[in-house]
Structures are given as structure tokens and as C-alpha cells.
Amino acid sequence: MNRISNLEEMTALVKGREIRTLAVAAGHDPATIEAAARAAREGICRVALVADPAKVEALCLEKGIDRDLFHVEAQPDEKKAAARAVEMVRSGEAQVLMKGLLGTEKYMRAILDKEKGLLPKGALLTHLAVMEVPAYPKLLFVSDVAVIPAPTLEQKVKILSYAAGAARKFGIDRPKAAVISATEKVSSAMPSTMDGAVLAQMARRGQIGDLEVDGPLALDVALSKDSALVKGIRSPVAGEADILLFPNIEAGNAFYKAVTKLAGGRLGAVVAGAAAPCVLTSRADDEETKFLSIVLGCLLG
């Protein structure tokens, strides 16, 4: 399989695969309806909306969308809609889950339900974004910017494993992961540098999987060979990173929003670690981001 280098190639690859069914919890907001309709029209997936049917009808009429693109299961209550969408994935009626017009807390609670949720024993839910940035020559797999506030060393191992697994779906056989901190110098005064050094050593010993890990690395070194050269940093990951593992949610979220709001970045995002891909976008995200997130979910599912 050739390496996927942009989000258009990701979409083309999914179109050539077996079609999946997407279950959308509370799928009655404009951007979600438009993204889901586009996915259905382009043969990305079948779409089941667990939603308020009156709102779906009104939005389809307003946006000029063919209502027959969707299977609609009537459930106006957000909490019940989330539970039913999760049930559809558990039963095999759907293979990908998506959040519509409901709060992230309610969505995550349905996924995490110990009896009826989607979290396998010993797994970890983490947010994974695949970003296309004009200033960088390949896709970036970025985690965690939305779910885990301050991942522990053990959680970082799982995050790297999930990100590497996703990267392999894009034809990257041995992904290169940068453990991000503010400096390359290891110091007990900055715990993220300690974690970076430990994770790099664990990877060298094959304890994380088939991927190249180096850290700690500042962001400029992870993304620029010139910066690494100036700083005298020798690393197989420097300037070549496929995966960026951030030390905490503040750093990751700031990067994520800076790239999308200031640098023209595009992305798809899911919650990894569940029994099936769970599309997680902000209610404020536009139609394209939601569409690309659906495509990503279908590729990973």
C-alpha cells in the first residue's frame, strides 16, 4: 500500500473499500446533517441518524438535502440518542459512531458505560486527529488534544500505540513519533522531558511496538530538520515526525487550534481506543471537518 500523503487520498481510499454504517447520536444539527449527507452521497458510508425527526426534516428542507439519504430513528432526547447510537455499534448495526448536537460529556459517558458502552477492558480513550498542514510535507497524527488532561507515562504508551496503528492504515509501516516538550534537555524539573526519554528508550527496546520514538523534542525540532541542525540535535525523528505526542491537553489543544485557525490546517478526528471509531468533533466545527472525521472513522473502522 502506498503512503497516503493528504486527506483527498484518504477519502479516495475509503471510497474503494467496503461501505460502513455510521450511527450519529443526536444527528440534527446543520453541519452534521451536511457532512453526513455528503458522506452518503459520495459512497463513504450509510448513515443512521438517531435524532429528532422533525428537526431532521426541517434541516433537510432548509439545506436542500435528500431526506432519503438517511435512516432516521426517532429519539429527541440527547442522552437516549447517545445510548441508542452506541447500542447500534455494539450490535453490529453500525461500525462507526459520531457525536451530533449533544455535549461531549454525554457522548463520552455513553461510550464509557461499563455495561453498555464501547470501552474494552484495559483500553484507554484518547483523542486522535489527523492533520494536513500546508507548511508540512506529510500528514500529522496528533494526540491528545481533547480528552486526557495530563496523560501519565503508561497512558502515553497507549496513545503512541493507537496513533501508530492509525498511521499504518495510511501506509506508514514504521511511523516516527516525537514526544513533545519545551526542550531536548532531560530535566527532573520538567516531567515531560523525563517521559520523553523513557518512551524513547522503551521504543528502542521494542516495548511499544514497531515505531520510531524520540524525545523529548521541542516542536521546531520535531518538524524542521533545519532547526535540528542549528541546535545540534541528531535524531531519526527530527524534521520527519509522523506523530506528535503532546505532554498535556493545554499544549495539544493550543497547537490544534493554532494550526486550524492560523495556518490553514485541515483535519479529521476520532476517539481512539474504543471498540469502534468514535467521531468526536466540536459542535462549532464546520461541515468539512465533520466530513473528514467521518472518512477517518470509516478508514479506521
* Owner of C-alpha cell 468533533: 281
pLDDT, the chain, mean = 95
Q: What is the pLDDT of residue 60?
A: 95
| Tens digits of residue pLDDT in 152-202 | 999 999 999 999 999 999 999 999 999 999 999 999 999 999 999 999 999
| Tens digits of residue pLDDT in 200-241 | 999 999 999 999 999 999 999 999 999 999 999 999 999 999
The residue ranges of every structural domain in the chain are: 7-119+274-300, 126-262
pLDDT at 16 > cutoff 90: no
Q: Which phi and psi angles does 233 have, rounded to 5°?
A: -95, 120
pLDDT band at residue 283 using 50, 70 and 90 as cut-offs: low
* Contact in structure between 44 and 68 (CB atoms under 8 Å): no
Q: What is the pLDDT of residue 86?
A: 98
Q: What is the pLDDT of residue 119?
A: 95
pTM of the model: 0.95
pLDDT at 284 > cutoff 80: no
DSSP lists the bridge partners of residue 188 as none
* End-to-end CA gap in the chain: 17
pLDDT band at residue 120 using 50, 70 and 90 as cut-offs: very high
Chosen CATH of 126-262 out of 2.60.40.2580, 3.40.190.10, 3.40.718.10, 3.90.1150.10: 3.40.718.10
Instruction: Say which DSSP state 38 is in.
Output: H
pLDDT (mean) for 47-75: 96
* Contact in structure between 272 and 147 (CB atoms under 8 Å): no
Percent of the chain with pLDDT over 70: 100
Handedness of CA 114, 120, 126, 130 (dihedral sign): negative
pLDDT at 281 > cutoff 90: no
**Range 7-119+274-300 classified under CATH 3.40.50.10950:** yes
